[in-house]
Amino acid sequence: VSETREALLAVVRAIPAGRLATYGDVARRAGFPRSAREVGRALSVLPDGSSVPWWRVVNREGRLVSPGGGARQAEHLHPEGVDAEQLPDGSWRVDLDCYRWDEEAEEME
């Protein structure tokens, strides 16, 4: 098992419920500021029963882009208090300004 993916997934697992993080943020917090793509790759190989809340990870626009079109993320986020909206073109997105994971605040804990 690759340590890189483990580190990435560890950060994703650390995302609090009702909060969102971008691929870039997760990669940076994991120590790989240039490996944002690896975050997506790591999530793409996640098993179904994984304990990793991959649905809390979105791209830099707060857009839900995943194999399911993002609808699955929206379904998981809704019960956590995150209100996602579907755009006219079918893609889903959330308000990053409100739900973005504040990593700085987490460190103070």
Partner DNA sequence: GCGGTGACTCTCG
Partner DNA sequence: CCGAGAGCCACCG
Chain contacts with DNA (rule: CB under 7 A): 2, 4-5, 22-24, 32, 34-41, 43-44, 46, 54-55, 57, 59-61, 65-67, 73
Tokens of 71: 């609808």
Q: Which residue has the tokens 């917090």?
A: 29
State the minimum distance, in angstroms, from the CB of residue 78 to DNA. Answer: 16
Nearer to DNA, 79 or 88 (CB): 88
Nearer to DNA, 40 or 107 (CB): 40
Identify the bridge partners of residue 64 per DSSP, sorted by sequence position. Answer: 92
The enclosing H or E element of 72 equals: helix 71-77
State the minimum distance, in angstroms, from the CB of residue 89 to DNA. Answer: 7
CB 64 within 8 A of CB 58: yes
